[in-house]
């Protein structure tokens, strides 16, 4: 991948300066790119001012001088509203590239790509994995769908943010992200249930985690989320509500292509029940609390 330091500064607009958008936009500023920022709540975007970004009140103004536009928005409906409902397309320059790094449905990504192409604007869907920790460190896994030439054009942006892989045509990045989220959500449940069984049976959860580390059951989920479970630290990094959205997007996509996903269906129900029981704004590892409550262990 081309390094940011070897690349001439680019004009990049970032739309959506939230938990992921802020550290990612900051890294683009620190890499020397000219960053213009927009967020519905202007105060969130103004946090980028000390890093050299310009802040705009309208997304159309933020993108007016940009060669590349990065979207980091809540879901597909919000992406559609910002791009096509708030006049952003009126400000986009023909030939510019929209890199949608939000997590949305593959069908929505393909629709946005087609609508932008009709206006002479290029598109990549490039969702990420790695959470706020990866965003801060520039170690995100980036899954990109779209034309290979557009992927190559986006590499200087990706270089500041993490490791990018082109996985196929429009919508494929979102398919890869759904696969990622299915594995993450299901594995969180497996780790939580296993550790709770050990605690219920009288073993030390922390020692069990230590004992199975390095074996076949080891994983990033066991190490990171398992430790959160041991410490009962469920401060939000990636919320239950977001994990639930991703599981539902996976099930919607599975239905569209005629694929039966029973394991994902089960975990969609578990995350939904966790949200109903007041855990929606906690970290997705807080599924542990839902399973603990079922077993009278809270």
What is the set of active-site residues? 177
Q: How far is CA 290 from CA 52, 224, 275, 279, in A?
A: 43, 19, 9, 8
Cβ 65 vs Cβ 36: under 8 Å: yes
Cβ contacts of residue 24 below 8 Å, gap of 6+?
14, 70, 72, 101, 135, 140, 161
| Residue 281 vs residues 16, 142, 228, 234: alpha-carbon distances, Å | 19, 25, 15, 9
| Cβ 100 vs Cβ 74: under 8 Å | no
Query: From CA 96, how far away is CA 93, in angstroms rounded?
Result: 6
**CB atoms closer than 10 angstroms to residue 10:** 19
Q: What does the alpha-carbon distance between residue 275 and residue 82 come to, in Å, rounded to a whole number? A: 27
């Amino acid at each position: 991948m081309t390094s940011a330091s070897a690349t001439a500064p680019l004009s990049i607009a970032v739309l959506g300066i939230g938990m992921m958008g802020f550290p990612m936009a900051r890294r683009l500023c620190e890499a020397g790119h000219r960053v213009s920022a927009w967020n519905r709540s202007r105060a969130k975007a103004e946090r980028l001012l000390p890093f050299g970004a310009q802040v705009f009140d309208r997304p159309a103004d933020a993108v007016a001088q940009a060669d590349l536009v990065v979207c980091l928005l809540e879901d597909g409906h919000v992406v559609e509203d910002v791009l096509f409902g708030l006049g952003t397309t009126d400000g986009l320059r023909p030939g510019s590239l929209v890199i949608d790094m939000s997590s949305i449905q593959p069908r929505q990504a393909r629709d946005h790509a087609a609508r932008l192409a009709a206006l002479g604007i290029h598109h990549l869907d490039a969702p990420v994995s790695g959470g706020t920790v990866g965003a801060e460190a520039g170690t995100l896994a980036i899954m990109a769908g779209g034309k290979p030439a557009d992927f190559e054009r986006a590499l200087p942006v990706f270089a500041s943010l993490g490791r990018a892989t082109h996985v196929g045509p429009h919508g494929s990045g979102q398919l890869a992200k759904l696969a990622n989220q299915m594995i993450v959500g299901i594995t969180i449940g497996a780790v939580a249930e296993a550790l709770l069984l050990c605690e219920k049976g009288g073993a030390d959860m922390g020692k069990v985690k230590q004992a199975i580390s390095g074996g076949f059951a080891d994983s990033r989920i066991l190490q990171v989320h398992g430790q959160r479970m041991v410490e009962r630290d469920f401060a939000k990094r990636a919320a239950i509500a977001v994990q639930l959205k991703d599981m539902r997007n996976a099930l919607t996509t599975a239905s569209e292509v005629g694929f039966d996903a029973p394991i994902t269906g089960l975990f969609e129900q578990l995350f939904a029940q966790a949200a109903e029981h007041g855990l929606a704004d906690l970290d997705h590892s807080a599924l542990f609390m839902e399973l603990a409550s079922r077993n009278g262990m809270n």
